Structure 1
């Protein structure tokens, strides 16, 4: 008899923190958080693990804290995220002849596998996660989005997929860290995908929405439509870069600059000119820096980020310029999440950018929609990725489409032995 619940662990390895969340997921797609454990992140820069020796004890500490509070022994598998400039999305497709016979389940699996194998990878890239978008029969105009073509007659069938890839070094570093902490990885999701599963509504994810997760080290962007991620993009730009700009501008410490950043208002109200946020020491001239002056500086930083994202979306065809004005094809607009999305006035800034490359979508702040047990501290935009990993595990459990490796079997099965051999041969025993 199939289990109606199971315990899962999500591990968010970010540039500012490491967060482990243990939850119980149920067959109806809901979940209940049991515990969390967190530590400061050391050895992670711009989403990349730069020092395994520094990160591994922090990961171990977060996991031990979460498991201790949960009071239950979960499986050794964790679901984790990945970020960094190397993370990008790629579309692929494959076609298979049918010669007028009906489509079988085997046909669907085979053409889907062919489409996944068709992802174009550079020598230093690894496939992270693929999602089937739709099947098409006989090159018809509309795909079977959310439909099942089984038993339909056709001369050919094609599968279309969207995949996330990352550099091999980035991916393997995370694998090493987690395995050295005594755990294995059940799956890896790109940061933006994970955050989307936590903060987006069903209408947004179906009708089309831009998810922008502005973290400490990176900005992760994903477009969701028809219930699936359709576009993936990452920039090496985050809240830490803004803090550095403030620190250099007023010549203060990073701690002082972080405190200043949290007081800014990107709406740049004229009355803020009278509010002094920092005074330089007398030996440095004793200059005063107003809230308006510093807010304008950060406004231009975020505006530049916004335009960069807009240009990328424009090039990918997710919105168009009609007579010099943007034409929005994503009715869900923009959802901002991540720690930097807490800057006052940032949603208004993203909503009101002028010009054809500024997508001028409606914008809202995204937080985890979970309101159950142990939600304290987990509803901030800072925790969207970890909560999205749990939400994704719950969704997979509900749909019953766990990975082949999860179903394969006991540790004594041929598949399990083969899997262990492959991991140890290509990655090493960590």
Structure 2
């Protein structure tokens, strides 16, 4: 008999923090947070686990705290995220002849497997997660998205998929960290996908939206449309880079630069010229640095980031040019999340585009939409990824993907062996 609820654990291994959340998910797709545990992150640089010996005890501390508060056995499976410059999206498709007969479930499964097999990976890449986008019959266009081709008559059927891939070393390092703490990975999602599932409304995720998660070490970008991720890209740029720029500009410590960064206003009002945020030592000239001067410097940094993201989305066809002016084809605009999205004025910066189509770049701040038990400390944009992992687990549980009994999840079960084989095949031996 299938359970109506189960306990899941999500783990966010980030460049600034490690956060574990234990939650109870229900068959209606909702969930309730039971506990959380967090530690500062060391050994993770720009989204990549660079020092296993440093990260392992930090992950253990976060899990021990979360499990201790929850007071329930959450099992040994963890849903986690992955980031880093190597994370990117790849599209693939495959076509199968039907010769005028009706489409069966086996046809749909076979052509989907063919589409996944058609994915071209480099030697150092591993598949992280694939999503079936849509089926296409004969010469129909993408308008068939979301429709079920079962029992339809056609001469051929094709399946189209979007997959996230990452470097083998990046994925394997995260697997090792979790396995060394006696746990298994049940699912791994790209950072931007996870954040999207936490912060987006149903209309946004269906009609089209750009999610930009600006974390401490990376900026993760995803396009959602039709309820699914359609584009994935990661930039090796985050809030830590901005802090370093401030530190170098002012010749101050990273701690001082971080505190100054939190006080900036990217709207750059003229009156901020009279607000002094930092004064250099006498031996360095005793120079005064105003809030306006530092804000303008950071504004230029983030403006360049916005232009870089825009160029990538333009090349992918999600941004276009209308009468010489930029235009966002996604009706949901842009949703910013991640710790750096808390900078004052950053949503206005990303919305500030020239031309009559500027309104298509409307930008809002994205936070987890969960407001239930134990939401304190989990509603900031900093926690979007881990809350999205929980939301995704709840969604999949509702759809019946993870309805196995406890017995089937034992270490010696056929399911467990198959899962270990898949992990080793895609990620490698550990």
Q: Which residue of 2 aligns with 1:93?
A: 93
Q: Which residue of 1 aligns with 2:102?
A: 102
Q: Which residue of 2 aligns with 1:38?
A: 38
Residues in 2 aligned to 1:30 and 1:418: alpha-carbon distance in whole angstroms: 28
Retained in 1: the 8 A contact 2:77–2:184?
A: yes
Structure 2's unaligned 5+ residue stretches are none
How far apart are 1:75 and its partner, in Å? 1.1
Residues in 1 aligned to 2:102 and 2:404: alpha-carbon distance in whole angstroms: 25
How far apart are 1:419 and its partner, in Å? 4.6
Asked whether 1:19 is paired with 2:19, we answer yes
Q: Which residue of 2 aligns with 1:255?
A: 255
Q: Which residue of 1 aligns with 2:315?
A: 315
Rate the CA distance shift 1:395–1:366 in 2: closer, same or farther, 3 A.
same
Retained in 2: the 8 A contact 1:76–1:184?
A: yes
Retained in 1: the 8 A contact 2:327–2:358?
A: no
Retained in 2: the 8 A contact 1:336–1:365?
A: yes
Q: Report how many aligned residue pairs link the two structures.
A: 429
Residues in 1 aligned to 2:312 and 2:245: alpha-carbon distance in whole angstroms: 24
Q: Which residue of 2 aligns with 1:383?
A: 383
CA shift digits 1:6-44 (9 cap, x unpaired): 000000000000000000000010000000000000100
Please give the secondary structure, in 1, of the residue aligned with 2:361. Answer: coil
Residues in 2 aligned to 1:391 and 1:330: alpha-carbon distance in whole angstroms: 23
Asked whether 1:266 is paired with 2:266, we answer yes
Residues in 2 aligned to 1:315 and 1:404: alpha-carbon distance in whole angstroms: 42
Residues in 2 aligned to 1:53 and 1:316: alpha-carbon distance in whole angstroms: 39
Retained in 2: the 8 A contact 1:222–1:230?
A: yes
**TM-score (normalizing by structure 2):** 0.96
Retained in 2: the 8 A contact 1:205–1:224?
A: yes
Q: Which residue of 2 aligns with 1:240?
A: 240
Rate the CA distance shift 1:404–1:86 in 2: closer, same or farther, 3 A.
farther
Q: Which residue of 2 aligns with 1:157?
A: 157
Q: Which residue of 2 aligns with 1:179?
A: 179
Rate the CA distance shift 1:63–1:103 in 2: closer, same or farther, 3 A.
same
Retained in 2: the 8 A contact 1:311–1:357?
A: no
Residues in 1 aligned to 2:269 and 2:130: alpha-carbon distance in whole angstroms: 45
**TM-score (normalizing by structure 1):** 0.96
Q: Which residue of 2 aligns with 1:168?
A: 168
How far apart are 1:428 and its partner, in Å? 3.9
Residues in 1 aligned to 2:4 and 2:291: alpha-carbon distance in whole angstroms: 54
Q: Which residue of 1 aligns with 2:190?
A: 190
Q: Which moved more, 1:418-427 or 1:81-90?
A: 418-427
Q: Counterparts in 2 of 1:106-125, with a 5 A limit? A: 106-125=106-125
Q: Which residue of 1 aligns with 2:286?
A: 286
CA shift digits 1:137-178 (9 cap, x unpaired): 113124431111111111111000001000000000000000
The 4+ residue runs of structure 1 with deviation greater than 6 A are: 355-359, 403-408
